[in-house]
Structure 1
Amino acid sequence: MSPGEKLDPIPDSFILQPPVFHPVVPYVTTIFGGLHAGKMVMLQGVVPLDAHRFQVDFQCGCSLCPRPDIAFHFNPRFHTTKPHVICNTLHGGRWQREARWPHLALRRGSSFLILFLFGNEEVKVSVNGQHFLHFHYRLPLSHVNTLGIFGDILVEAVGFLNINPFVEGSREYPAGHKVPCSHALPQGLSPGQVIIVRGLVLQEPKHFTVSLRDQAAHAPVTLRASFADRTLAWISRWGQKKLISAPFLFYPQRFFEVLLLCQEGGLKLALNGQGLGATSVNQQALEQLRELRISGSVQLYCVHS
């Protein structure tokens, strides 16, 4: 498979909308596939020291006139004696009854990570890993297809996840998996199975490695990214190295998604939804794999197989 080719066998629900870095505010973008239960939007940035207010709007369209409906309006306000958040819905050009949350966890001059997790009946919002609020929908979630960010905010990154990666345990908003990370594969790998690894590259990265091991701790295949020489390579059990001829897509302090699709006789690789090639692995060896091991200069948010 040539670089840039799509991985057709992977269901659409696994594909990650490319993240956006350092957009200019006001910023309006389409949400690929719209919103649905289980989808998550991640917003990372900094509140300026002189910030008065900003807003994040999940809109039903992107027209300027008439103004589109806003299913969920998230509006932190800092200029009052008691900073707070206002949430509301705009329908037919009219604001509905507003909801107010005090004890705002955002601070002027501080960085933040906000997660918007969309459920069947409500959206849950966490700030810096702590649950902050939930808001019941007043308009159908299926009508939302646009994200708008306005006001006093410096946005570093916007990420879109089609499947909530935080449901693997009882915690709603975990900080992530520790690295190195070991993930059991009790049944081995079979054709059609997909391994998903999502995370954030650290500020001064050195390497990132994903290896598949059998019960004897042998690794028939390893995927390794080297930040020093900006190469991505398959490494066999015997140390043979095969470079992947594609642009190096790992960047410091940026989100990534690695997908490994098991097929008869090997594995296909996709990074941020783009197919980057394949490697041959004996089918018997794939069936005998019992451990997925991840190490390197990353913070993990999701490991799924």
Structure 2
Amino acid sequence: MSFMAPPGYQPVYSPAIPYLGPIYGGLREGASIYLQGSVPDKITRFFVNLLCGQSESSDIAVHFNPRFDGWDKVVFNSRRDNAWDNEEKIRSMPFSKGDAFEIVITCSPHDYQFKVNGKDFYTFKHRLPLAKVCAIQIGGDVAIQSINVIGVRWIVTSLPFQEQGGYPGGGMGEGCYPGGGMGGRPGCEIGPGGYPGDCGGGGFPGSNLPSMAGQPIYNPPIPYSGAIPGGMFPKRTVIIRGMVPYKAGRFGINFLVSRSRDIAFHVNPRIKDGVVVRNTMMGGHWGQEERQLGGDNPFKEGQYFDMSVRCGSDRFKVFVNGHPLFDYSHRMRNVNEIDGLEVAGDVQISYIHF
């Protein structure tokens, strides 16, 4: 069983490199692209291209190209009609050989803003229209753990869901259509906060789930404490993406009732012990711990994680990096009272998305 992503959240996990896949629904202002991966000890160079079409020969809106060649640098460029434009060279290298990294590309009205490992790196002004970008290409000496695009229009096509990098409609199809799917057919758009309607066939995993709407909370300080907009309810999904730093001991994630301070669902990865403890605290008293996992423990030093917590009618289902990790039966009678989220301990959070 794999994670069925709700509309607006379509990650690609551990793609083969070289990779070429759709940015489903296209880019728009406010969208962000998250890449998590690592570079080998013997890296020469790698690249990330944002394409204006479905093939390697398509125009390239942004070419991001770190080069380890004795004069370490990162090259930015664009390509139109198979001709490269002027390079922009940054004589600074934000990547370290053999280490994991996180790249965030944020789309603004005038440029792309690149962050590497949480730090501002470079701003590349638009040379081609943002609305034309509909695919991403990655190649070279790099391993990618996950790709995710946030803040795009989520399109439902009439095609059945195919397991092709987690995108409905399968591969790149005939072309990139504004407001349509990548399968070359017009689609039907789900607006912010909306539910999938009858788009003539639906039926793919995730189609009956609430849309991942609104902007995520980026890089929150730890400890973090905040409200869950609209509270928890059946079929609600919360995404927590982060990293376990080196020499981490433990961290905790609490889904709680702010009025009573009862903790309905406590997730407590203990890195040194190699366990993930779950529990509930009501009236100041902890219940029975649960520790059994449905797969390998993904919470390890130096590792990024993409944690999806889905609230069901009788249990929480927790997936990490697209794989089921455990279920946790509700111990609190009314899950609709859960309205707060806390994160504390030895962890770095890239974003929280409701």
Normalised by the length of structure 2, the TM-score is 0.63
Residue 8 (structure 2) aligns with:
13
Q: How many Å separate the matches in 2 of 1:61 and 1:297?
A: 41
Structure with higher strand content: 1
**Greater shift in the superposed pair: 67-76 or 197-206:** 67-76
| Deviations 1:275-299, CA, capped at 9 Å, x for gaps | 3342222574312223211122210
Aligned residue runs from structure 1 range 259-298, under 5 A: 259-281=308-330, 284-298=333-347
Aligned: 1:115 with 2:104:
yes
3-state DSSP of counterpart to 1:220 = strand
Aligned: 1:256 with 2:305:
yes
Match of 1:233 among 277, 298, 303: 277
Q: Which has the higher contact order (CA 8 A, sep 6+)?
A: 1
Q: How many Å separate the matches in 2 of 1:14 and 1:289?
A: 22
Q: How many Å separate the matches in 1 of 2:80 and 2:274?
A: 47
Q: How many Å separate the matches in 2 of 1:35 and 1:105?
A: 33
Aligned: 1:222 with 2:266:
yes
Q: CA deviation at 1:223?
A: 1.6
Q: How many Å separate the matches in 1 of 2:332 and 2:280?
A: 15
Q: How many Å separate the matches in 1 of 2:149 and 2:72?
A: 35
Contact 1:16 1:272 in 2 (8 A): no
Aligned residue runs from structure 1 range 48-59, under 5 A: 55-58=47-50
Aligned: 1:198 with 2:241:
yes
Contact 2:105 2:113 in 1 (8 A): yes
CA RMSD in angstroms, aligned pairs only: 3.9
Give the residue type in structure 2 aligned to 1:6.
S
Aligned: 1:242 with 2:290:
yes
Residue 42 (structure 1) aligns with:
35
| Deviations 1:84-109, CA, capped at 9 Å, x for gaps | 73412153xx31432x4355443797
Match of 1:132 among 122, 125, 128: 122
Contact 1:244 1:277 in 2 (8 A): yes
3-state DSSP of counterpart to 2:8 = helix
Match of 1:101 among 88, 97, 100: 88
| Deviations 1:211-270, CA, capped at 9 Å, x for gaps | 122222221221222223322232122331122332211222121111111222332211
C-alpha change, 1:205 and 1:177, in structure 2 (3 Å) is: same
Contact 1:47 1:108 in 2 (8 A): no
Match of 2:58 among 69, 72, 82: 69
Contact 1:47 1:107 in 2 (8 A): no
Please, which runs of 5 or more residues in structure 2 have no aligned partner? 152-211
Q: How many Å separate the matches in 1 of 2:95 and 2:343?
A: 36
Residue 351 (structure 2) aligns with:
302
Give the residue type in structure 2 aligned to 1:286.
V
Normalised by the length of structure 1, the TM-score is 0.72
| Deviations 1:85-143, CA, capped at 9 Å, x for gaps | 3412153xx31432x4355443797887543335688643235521512242648322x
C-alpha change, 1:231 and 1:49, in structure 2 (3 Å) is: closer
Residue 191 (structure 2) aligns with:
none
Q: CA deviation at 1:7?
A: 4.0
C-alpha change, 1:97 and 1:228, in structure 2 (3 Å) is: closer
Please, which runs of 5 or more residues in structure 1 have no aligned partner? none
Q: How many Å separate the matches in 1 of 2:136 and 2:42?
A: 32
Give the residue type in structure 2 aligned to 1:224.
N
Give the residue type in structure 1 aligned to 2:75.
V
C-alpha change, 1:158 and 1:90, in structure 2 (3 Å) is: farther
Corresponding pairs, count? 277
3-state DSSP of counterpart to 1:287 = helix
3-state DSSP of counterpart to 1:243 = coil
